[in-house]
Amino acid sequence: MEVGDFLDLFLELLIVRAPKLSVLEMGDRNIQRFRLPVLFPSQIGRRMFLGRIFPALAIRMAADAGHGRQRSFDERPDLRQRFDQLFLFYLKISLDFYHLVLYIYIVERTSSTPALATPILGFSRETLQGLDRESLIQIVLNLQEELHEQRLLVQDLKDELRLLRGEKGRPQIKPAVPDEPAEERTKRRASRWHKSGKTIAVTRRVRLAVDPRILPQDAVFKGTRKILIQDIQIVTDNVEFEIERYYSSSEKKTYEASLPPGYDGSFFGPGIRQIILALHYQGRMPQKLLQTLLSGMGVLISEGEISALVVLKSGGFAEEQAAARQAGTTKHDYQHIDDTGARLAGKNGATIVTGNERFVAYRTGFHKDRLSALKALCGTDALAYRIDEEALAYVRQKLPTTTLDVILGKFKNQIFPTESEFETTVMRHPDLLRFRPSALRYVREAAAIAAFRAQDSTRRLVCDDAGQFKGLTKFLQLCWVHAGRHVEDLDPRSPDFRGILDRFLDSLWGYFDKLKAYKLAPTKRAKKTLFREFDKVFKPDTGYYALDRRIKKVLGQKTELLTVLDFPTTPLHNNPCELDVREKVVQRKIRNCHRSLAGAKASDIFLGLMGTCRKNKISFWDYLKDRVYKTGSIPELKEIILAD
């Protein structure tokens, strides 16, 4: 094997997976795994290597299906020297260790012929010799696409390693697009804008008279014309209340007059509380800027007092948000779910977003596993647990070779309303203590999922293909937009493959349009037709191997993608939840981190209320005004949700 062949193989073929660092071959061949002996100078270096560097570094190597013989770098000094020269730059990370020495076993062909196509396509030399010209051209085109994808991947990894060292990666510059003609640009903008149908409420009317001194002698009155100008006034309203007091000597008690609604419980009136909540959450203004703005308007207030109004005064709002979530799950038996990263008290965490067309709820914590997702779906931190046949089946599916299901059978048909009771009775049972924590995790998941399915009205879940969301509900509807996005991400360089991709996307979105039409008028005949047509649309025989791999993945998700055929009211995509997640992402970019759990919870409450008001066509400004002034003109959100 030449050095150039090795470099091509290094860039193109195998993937090293951390932390086991096992090598996986591509194609339909059997997966072969072997350990990579790695020498580290310290425990810190080992953790840094396994946790930060190689999870992002993809490497592919060659394998010989006939011999499977392994050779180390010690047998090929030329390859080792070349390897050190080219990749020592990427492996020297001077954070808390000075150097890493990596020894990788290379699976190499014994013959001198290049083996570039062998690991990817699974073809032997004899098979390639028997192929015709067109088949060989197709193989070469696929190899070019694979090489192009791997080069882009290597460049991304280079940029990531530069960022780890505190340097800058390659700037992301969008490709140039042809200039659009001026008339087309004007036409597009004109077609996109349309006047709102809302009417403006007039607060006062003023008649303006003409100064008679400027009128000539022959001027005749011709009526009036009206012009409506919108304006706003923000002025301070510092009220000093004189509260009457009476003392009863017989009762030894003092009686005082009550403050008006909205003025009790704080030294700041409802107007200040309303504008702080609106600007902080809906206007995305940080507390420091709020303090600067209010101080400039003449309000004597500190950042700590603003924080107290934002965080500590959210008790009644929390109860209304929980009631609205319960009403939303009662109204519809499905929920959307998605998650995004978060920073909480200086540590990495996650925000899980749930909802449907009538409500949205946020939950920020340190984890985003199945139990955290269940807590978000239930809207509580206290999960119930239940051991029944569904829980036992879940354990058998996850751990088919253990006797956990037999042991759990002793607690069958038992319900544990609290986590402490479940931990004491089940998880500390002597027969379970011998199992690993990773196995016991599935026991907790099984019992929590069984209790959730028995108590909650949510039967279907709409989400992407994230693993932590699977198995929570009885039925799962995967997002069609996500499935199509994986295909649209392909960027073939070959015109032939571009044509194949375009034709497949046309058929995919055509099938998606048929599903949307089925939702409006579902019939048994249309259901059978669409179910059979799925296999015709997603056939992994296009000849474009990157596309075929994605089609095979979609075929494995057929049941979850076609849940809508049995439940036509189920949404086909998860876009509403992604829009709800976007608000949390923008807030995170502005504030970076929640300093406390109380602050994160308050943010979840008010962003959930803001999203729920939007989905029910209620002005969040008017909602806050009604709640802080306690006028009662807007009903409870749960009543609005259940009324429609």
The predicted-structure confidence for 586-621, as pLDDT tens digits, reads as follows 998 888 888 888 889 999 999 999 999 999 999 999
pLDDT of residue 147: 79
How far is it, in rounded angstroms, from Cα 25 to Cα 410?
44
Regarding whether 281 and 137 lie in a shared domain, the answer is: no
Residue 312: inside a domain, yes or no?
Answer: no
Regarding whether 266 and 154 lie in a shared domain, the answer is: no
Regarding whether 143 and 252 lie in a shared domain, the answer is: no
Mean pLDDT of 120-141: 68
pLDDT of residue 373: 92
Residue 41: inside a domain, yes or no?
Answer: yes
Of 16-20, 235-239, 556-560, minimum mean pLDDT range: 16-20
**Torsion angle of C-alpha atoms 226, 227, 228, 232, degrees rounded to 10:** -120
Judged against a pLDDT cut of 50, whether residue 11 lies above it is answered with: no
DSSP 201: P
Regarding whether 262 and 130 lie in a shared domain, the answer is: no
Task: Tell me which residue of 496, 477, 508 sits closest to 572, measured CA to CA.
Answer: 477
- Residues near 349 by Cβ (< 8 Å), separated by ≥ 6? 341, 342, 343, 364, 365, 366, 367
Percent of the chain with pLDDT over 70: 76
CA atoms 346, 348, 354, 360: torsion sign:
positive
pLDDT of residue 579: 93
Mean pLDDT of 412-429: 89
Regarding whether 128 and 9 lie in a shared domain, the answer is: yes
Judged against a pLDDT cut of 50, whether residue 29 lies above it is answered with: no
| Boundary (domain end) residue, out of 555, 573, 591 | 573
Q: Tokens 């500190």 belong to which residue? A: 302
Assessment of whether the complete model's pTM goes beyond 0.75: no
Judged against a pLDDT cut of 80, whether residue 445 lies above it is answered with: yes
Residue 205: inside a domain, yes or no?
Answer: no
> Which of the pair, 78 or 56, is modelled with greater confidence?
78
Tokens of 266: 């704080």
Of 103-112, 230-239, 350-359, 604-613, minimum mean pLDDT range: 103-112
Task: Tell me which residue of 131, 92, 580, 520 sits closest to 362, measured CA to CA.
Answer: 580
Which one of 35-39, 126-130, 515-519, 538-542 scores highest in mean pLDDT? Answer: 515-519
Number of domains in the chain: 3
pLDDT of residue 123: 58
Of 424-428, 527-531, 590-594, minimum mean pLDDT range: 590-594
Regarding whether 152 and 13 lie in a shared domain, the answer is: yes
- Residues near 79 by Cβ (< 8 Å), separated by ≥ 6? 1, 3, 6, 73, 106
Domain with 522 in it: 480-573
- Residues near 100 by Cβ (< 8 Å), separated by ≥ 6? 38, 40, 41, 45, 49, 53, 91, 92, 93
pLDDT band per the 50, 70, 90 thresholds, residue 157: confident
pLDDT band per the 50, 70, 90 thresholds, residue 197: low
Residue 186: inside a domain, yes or no?
Answer: no
Residue 187: inside a domain, yes or no?
Answer: no
| Boundary (domain end) residue, out of 164, 197, 231 | 164
Regarding whether 254 and 156 lie in a shared domain, the answer is: no
CA distances from 337 to 124, 555, 568, 587, 605 (A): 46, 23, 19, 19, 17
Regarding whether 144 and 7 lie in a shared domain, the answer is: yes
> Which of the pair, 459 or 515, is modelled with greater confidence?
515
Judged against a pLDDT cut of 70, whether residue 359 lies above it is answered with: yes
Tokens of 616: 């029910």
pLDDT band per the 50, 70, 90 thresholds, residue 491: confident
CA distances from 117 to 136, 141, 268, 297 (A): 11, 11, 73, 72
Which one of 29-38, 293-302, 303-312 scores highest in mean pLDDT? Answer: 293-302
Residue 460: inside a domain, yes or no?
Answer: no
Mean pLDDT of 467-474: 89
pLDDT of residue 279: 94
Judged against a pLDDT cut of 70, whether residue 532 lies above it is answered with: yes
pLDDT band per the 50, 70, 90 thresholds, residue 640: very high
Give the Cα-Cα-Cα angle 472, 478, 481 (nearest 5 degrees). Answer: 150
Regarding whether 145 and 18 lie in a shared domain, the answer is: yes
Query: What digits encode the pLDDT tens for the residues 280-305?
Result: 999 999 999 999 999 999 999 999 99
Judged against a pLDDT cut of 90, whether residue 164 lies above it is answered with: no
pLDDT of residue 149: 79
Regarding whether 159 and 28 lie in a shared domain, the answer is: yes
pLDDT band per the 50, 70, 90 thresholds, residue 6: very low
Residue-by-residue DSSP string for 66-98: TT--EE-GGG-HHHHHHHHHHHHHHH---SS-S
Residue 222: inside a domain, yes or no?
Answer: no
Residue 399: inside a domain, yes or no?
Answer: no
Task: Tell me which residue of 259, 272, 282 sits closest to 309, measured CA to CA.
Answer: 272
Tokens of 65: 């299906």
Regarding whether 260 and 154 lie in a shared domain, the answer is: no
pLDDT of residue 560: 93
Of 101-115, 427-441, 573-587, minimum mean pLDDT range: 101-115
Give the Cα-Cα-Cα angle 607, 462, 365 (nearest 5 degrees). Answer: 45
How far is it, in rounded angstroms, from Cα 420 to Cα 260?
45
pLDDT of residue 187: 62
| Boundary (domain end) residue, out of 144, 164, 184 | 164
